[in-house]
């Protein structure tokens, strides 16, 4: 079970509640999340292709 996140106060700097994002800022965050997801998908595809190429070399190698 996950515990709720509690704010952390640093010595000399009290906890400050984050500001609410504007519409433009939300758009930037949304695009960044889409970009990260696309990068992760491309990386997974590249790893899968590399794994498949490695297996193909093993199968076609003369015995």
Query: What pLDDT, in 10s, does the model give residues 10-62?
Result: 777 777 777 888 889 889 888 989 999 999 999 999 999 988 876 655 555 55
Instruction: Provide the pLDDT for residue 38.
Output: 94
pLDDT at 63 over 60: no
Dist. CA 10–CA 16, nearest whole Å: 11
**DSSP class of residue 6?**
-
Sign of CA dihedral 21, 25, 29, 34: positive
């Amino acid at each position: 079970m996950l515990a709720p996140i509690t704010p952390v106060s640093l010595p000399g700097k009290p906890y400050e509640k984050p500001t609410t994002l504007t519409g433009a800022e939300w758009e930037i965050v949304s695009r960044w999340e889409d970009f990260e997801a696309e990068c992760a998908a491309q990386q997974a595809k590249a790893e899968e292709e590399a794994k498949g190429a490695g297996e193909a070399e093993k199968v076609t190698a003369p015995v």
